[in-house]
Every structure is written in C-alpha cells, then in structure tokens.
Amino acid sequence: MKNAFFRLVFFLVLVPAVLFQLRHLSIPGGDSAWIVTLVERPLYFFFRAPLVVVFHKALWLLLNGWGWSAGDCVSLSSALAGGVFFWGLFRLSKNWRLWVPFLFSCIPWIFFGHQETYPWPFALSVWVFVFLKMRLRGRCGHFPLYLFLILATFAHPMAFMLWPGVIFAQRPWDREKLKPLLISIVITGLLLVVFLLFGKAGGLPQRKWVLPVFEVGRSLTRYPIFSWRHWMELGWFYLISMPVGAFLLFRFGFREWRGWIGGLNVTVLVTIAWSLIWHPGMGYNDWDLFSWPGLFVNLAGGLAWSRASDSPQDEKGVLDAPQNENSPPGIDPGGEFSS
C-alpha cells in the first residue's frame, strides 16, 4: 500500500505541480487563445473536446474565487493530464527504452501547462492500452477498458481512431468479447446523439478539415493533398513528434500483430493515415494536433526496442508484477494492478 500511495502522490500531485510550473515554456497551439475563452462562456457541447471543456470549466468555477484566471485553470488541467499520462507510461513498462522516444519529441511539451484540449485525450489513450494489456492477460474485466475508451472518445473525437486497434487486438472473437463491445458502441452512439440534439452543440466537423486530392476549389483548405507545402508541414510534424520512435519502429517493430501490441500497431497505421489527409488549418501552429500519431509511434517504437533488448526482464512494468495468491484478482502485493 505504501508503494501505491507514493505513486499516487508522485504522479497526481508532484508531477503535475512541476509541469504547471513549466507552463511558461509551453509552445502555443493554433487554438490556444480561443480554447481559454471557452472556459468563461456559457457551457455547451463542444464537439471537438466535450469532456475536456467541461473539466476546464469545472476547475475555473472551483478556483476562480481564489483569483485563478481561465488560462491558469486550463494550464492546471493540462498539467494534471501530464501526471496521468506519465503514470500510464510507467504502468506499461518500467524499461527506460520506452521513455527515450518521448524525451526526444515535442509530446512532453503538450503537458507543460499547454492551453489546449489535447493533453487529456493523449493521457487517456495511454490508459486505454494499459487496460487493454490487462484485459488480454486476464487481470481485469471489460469495464475499465471500455470506460477509458469512451472517456477518451468524449475527451476528443480523434480518439475514435483507438477503436479499430482495440477491436483488432481481441481476436479471435466470441460472445464474451462481443457483448461488452456492442454495449460500449451503443452507449457511445446514444450519448453522442443526445448531446448533439440537446446540448447546444458547436465545433462540428467541417469540409475544410479534409484535404482535397487535386484542387482546393471550395474546400477552404490552403492546398491539395499532393502539394509540396502539405508534405513540408507534415514532414515537420513528424520530425518533431516522432524522430526516434519512427526509427525504432521501423528497426524493431511491426513484427507482432497479435494481442495488445498488434492493436497498438493498428492504431499507428490508422493515425498515420489520418494525418495524411487532415488539413493543418493553423499551419505549423497545429504541431500539437499533429503530434497525435507520434504518441502511438513512440509507444510502439519504444516497446519494440524494449522487447528486442538484451535484458527482457527490464521490459516488465507494474502490470507484469507477480501476483500474490492471497491478493484479490488483478491486484499485486504492492497495491497496483498487474497483468
């Protein structure tokens, strides 16, 4: 229990406190100033990040009386997401090789009090794979996996890209696996319909977000998909978000297509494909949005390097701790979930 309490305090108090103090180093995103204004507006269903905007506003309502500005509340939210994110990495693997691709990328900057909506979907997505790994190793039920998958989806709709990987990872299918999946899909769909119909929805999808193939025309995009400007910007996004992860993935990865690693590899392909057709409307300022594929490339590359290392014991994370026969299912002697 001491270890569990220490980890809780370290990742949910100390790490966010440090990240919040580093907020002045944060690199603004394309919508940073606008996202802060949403906090002080009347609450509505902001399609692009419904749960994140609600959480930003809840922090502001809680701390506004103590003189906190809307911007500081958004920064605190991002720092808290950073603690959750790094805790998830620790739960996946304690091997230092997993952390290297992230340390040489721009992704940690997303949690330096970054005033945007992306930190929470990044953090929750890591936990989706934590619980996917646990589920496939029989250490937890379906509930936490699909709960975090739905939370990530409503944190930002780009988390819909996680679903194919989660579904792929659980092959072969049977009734036990299909039932919770179908229930989760129905719940997600019903919640989406209810919010869209009755939640004063805004931030809905627009044609200008998808690049045309040949001509810009009326698409409101700055260039077509085969424009050299598109590939210059996309190359820059890849360079800053996954320089080491991409190398490691091509060097060691894509060898395993079963289980949760296979699901992670599918997510890599889905997010890369999305980045090829999506329009960075804010140009290079959209670095945070286009770091999304880098999250999974760095995860897959770092894990592949860990698995190919000479010390396989180091690859094991908290999830791989031996289970005590007297402990409840899914709990290791140190108080952490194992898998």
The rounded average pLDDT for each run of 10 residues, N- to C-terminus, in the chain (339 residues) is: 86 96 87 84 75 91 92 95 97 93 96 93 98 94 96 94 96 88 94 74 64 74 89 96 96 87 96 95 92 97 87 49 41 34
Res 201: pLDDT: 60
Res 313: pLDDT: 45
Res 22: pLDDT: 93
Res 42: pLDDT: 75
Res 312: pLDDT: 45
Res 118: pLDDT: 94
pTM recorded for the entire structure: 0.88
Estimate the crossing angle of helix 175-198 against helix 142-155, to 10 degrees: 30
Res 324: pLDDT: 43
Res 334: pLDDT: 33
